[in-house]
Amino acid sequence: MIFFASDVHLASDTPAITARFLSFLERARREAQSVYLLGDIFESWVGDEDLGLKAYKPVFQALKETVQAGVAVYFMAGNRDFMVSDHVLAELGLIRLEDPYILSTTTWQFVLSHGDLYCTGDVPYQKFRARVRDPQTQARFLRLPYWLRRSIATWLRWRSKGRRYDAQTQMMTDVSQGTVEDEARRYGYATLIHGHTHRPATHDLFVDGIHVERWVMADWSADRGEYLTWNDTELSRQSI
């Protein structure tokens, strides 16, 4: 069994989400052969010092125990946790994935992505994304005191939650249909799995006359967590 999850948004002030994620990892240790974490697992990540956050300690321990149980755990960076370093992943035993990533099983092929790459209609965001992913920009940010980096992340989180979403913004921040169709052609009309948009749904597309599925994963809340499973024949949604 393969598990997929994204947009968990773990944070120090959301213990209920942390508890759900710990239950998810416990279930993975019992049922899964591999787990794919497709970005924004953490609400924010500002440097390796975050390994010392007390609220995250149970999560780090559970991730290590999952790997030690023989489950391969893969990590793809999202727009909230792209600063997670190779050192951190090695400490936790996680395997980094590039975005997008092609997952080929014995019975099917998937394109895995966090999803923000496909929101090409949001030009300001794509420019911002390119800037903050630049190694020189990241190096300058990491030279700031940890308390200042954490404060910047808190402010950005507050600004994001306070943003007004009108109809035009909703369209901009969703994936571009044309971009998704191009991606389907590029990767042989494989099934696309992504998160980021917080608009969970299963979309049936017809690209060049070929049926293509796009599965959008849900973001997690204090009331509900959702993940996908693949059992070699069927992709399905599960709640926890």
> Is 122 annotated as a binding-site member?
yes
231 labelled as ligand-binding? Answer: no
Q: Is 203 annotated as a binding residue?
A: no
- 177 among the known binding-site residues? no
SS3 212: strand
Pairwise CA distance, residues 189 & 176, whole Å: 16
User: What's the rounded Cα separation, in Å, for the pair 46 and 152?
Assistant: 9
Residue 238 neighbours by CB under 8 Å, 6+ apart: 226, 227, 228, 229
Contacts of 47 (CB under 8 A, 6+ apart): 83, 85, 142, 146, 149
The residues that bridge with 113 in the sheet, in sequence order, are 194
Q: How far apart are CA 144 and CA 137, in angstroms?
A: 11
Does 104 carry a binding-site annotation? no
Is residue 40 part of an annotated ligand binding site?
yes
**Per-residue tokens: 235:** 């992709």
Q: Is 7 annotated as a binding residue?
A: yes
Q: Find out whether 79 is annotated in a ligand binding site.
A: yes
Residue 211 assigned ligand-binding role: no
Bind-site residues: 7, 9, 40, 79-80, 114, 122, 160, 168, 196, 198
Bind-site residues for substrate: 79-80, 122, 160, 168, 196
Bind-site residues for Mn(2+): 7, 9, 40, 79, 114, 196, 198
